[in-house]
Amino acid sequence: MELMEAIYHRRTVRRFEDREVAAELLEEIIEAAVQAPSAMNMQPWSFAVYCGRPRLVAFSDRIKEHVLATLPPLFELHEHTDRMSDPGYDVFHGAPVLMVICAKEQGWSPAETVCLAAQNLMLAAHGLGLGTCPVGFVRSWFRLPRIKDELGIPGSHEPVFPVVVGHPVEWPLPTSRREPDVVVWARARAGGLRRD
């Protein structure tokens, strides 16, 4: 797949086939993730990989409970709350694999760097016919020291980018984008800051 095609056609997938993803494919997308640039090439990322629907369903139930218990009051009427109260709702959208990409304490700008690795991973997955969905809001649960301990994430590794991976049931339709908000474009000729 051409790079521009992958960039333009990747979509967040929220419906997955009920089958595992081969370990070789997971290794391949992790290898692609670590090709991302990093400050001083410090590569401050790590990957916690959790496979199997029953495991993810159990995580999902515990996460919903945690979210409901910790939501700020203003969110109480939000549709998010309804979803979190729905026993049938799976925060991982039925995916068979969850990867939590973490930032190691040492390193410059580790969180930003992790996001670059995550984008590589999602594009590589798309190139291999796999779907991905970042699941940002579950991060707070994975950051709880007792959960990190239980799930094998070292204390000095900060969960930054949870993303699920699986075989998509379908490719979603394109989502819209606003025009790029280029607030300054200082051209090379004299005359100060002008956008023309």
Q: Which residues bind ligand FMN (CB under 6 A)?
A: 11-12, 14, 133-137, 172, 175
Q: Considering beta carbons, is residue 100 or 195 the nearer one to ligand FMN?
A: 100
Contact 165, 21 (CB under 8 A): yes
Q: Label residue 139 exposed, middle or buried (CB < 10 Å: 0-12, 13-18, 19+).
A: middle
Q: Considering beta carbons, is residue 30 or 95 the nearer one to ligand FMN?
A: 95
Output the residue with the shortest Cβ distance to ligand FMN.
136
Residue 174: which residues within 8 A CB-CB, separation 6 or more? Answer: 9, 11
24: nearest Cα among 34, 32, 16, 36: 32
Q: Considering beta carbons, is residue 11 or 157 the nearer one to ligand FMN?
A: 11
Distance in Å, CB of 90 to ligand FMN, minimum: 11
Q: Considering beta carbons, is residue 108 or 137 the nearer one to ligand FMN?
A: 137
How big, in percent rounded to 5, are the helix, strand and coil portions of the chain?
40, 15, 40
Contact 106, 162 (CB under 8 A): no
Token digits for 191? 């005359």
Residue 34: which residues within 8 A CB-CB, separation 6 or more? Answer: 43, 45, 117, 120
Q: Considering beta carbons, is residue 94 or 134 the nearer one to ligand FMN?
A: 134
Distance in Å, CB of 193 to ligand FMN, minimum: 31
DSSP code for 159? E
Distance in Å, CB of 79 to ligand FMN, minimum: 13
Q: Considering beta carbons, is residue 85 or 186 the nearer one to ligand FMN?
A: 85
DSSP code for 77? T
Distance in Å, CB of 108 to ligand FMN, minimum: 21
Distance in Å, CB of 171 to ligand FMN, minimum: 10
